[in-house]
Amino acid sequence: MAKKVVATLKKEGGVKYTRVVKAVKSPKTGAYIFKEEIMPEDQVKEFLNAK
């Protein structure tokens, strides 16, 4: 399935997409949880800076 996702995200003339993985500390257990999203490149900084 990963190949299909990558192939559809690389269309010519389209928006460039990036896969972002962010480690977030769980307030309940203290363990780290990883949030993963695929988003346009211009939204990456907003996602990483959000708390």
pLDDT for 1 equals 44
Q: What's the whole-number mean pLDDT along residues 1-27? A: 72
Alpha carbons 21 and 32: distance in angstroms, whole number: 12
| Residue-wise pLDDT tens digits, 19-45 | 999 898 999 999 999 989 998 888 888
Alpha carbons 48 and 21: distance in angstroms, whole number: 9
- pLDDT higher than 60, residue 4: no
Q: What's the whole-number mean pLDDT along residues 44-50? A: 86
Tokens linked to 12? 């010519």
Cβ atoms of residues 47 and 37 within 8 Å = yes
Q: What's the whole-number mean pLDDT along residues 1-10? A: 55
